[in-house]
Amino acid sequence: MAMLTLLALFNSTSYEYFFVLCLIGFLIIVELSGPFTVRPAWRSRVNIVIMIGVIIFFLIVMKKVLDVLNISMVI
């Protein structure tokens, strides 16, 4: 809800910005919630979600770069 409020406040509502902000928030929560001395079993499952998020983030960045270069991309 905080992400949507900030995006609405700055009049920058788009799914790309929302996804990137949620991914950053998720990464912060995962890093702060995990213990430093022991690697819990749930961490391997979270790493899969993180990798999927990074791949989607990479696709968003590629789309933005190709838009700036005026090259069309089919997804």
20 vs 13, higher pLDDT:
20
Question: Quick one: which of 24, 57, 58, 30 has its CA closest to 45?
Answer: 30
User: Does 57 fall in a domain?
Assistant: yes
User: Does 47 fall in a domain?
Assistant: yes
Interval 64-73: pLDDT, tens: 888 888 876 6
Interval 17-73: pLDDT, tens: 889 989 999 999 988 887 778 888 888 889 999 999 999 999 999 988 888 888 766
Is the pLDDT at 75 greater than 70? The verdict is: no
User: Does 73 fall in a domain?
Assistant: no
Domain ranges, residue 43? 2-68
- Tell me if 66 sits within 8 A of 72, measured CB to CB: yes
* pTM, to two decimals: 0.76
User: Does 75 fall in a domain?
Assistant: no
User: Does 52 fall in a domain?
Assistant: yes
Give the distance from CA 11 to its chain's centroid. 20
Query: What pLDDT sits at residue 3?
Result: 79
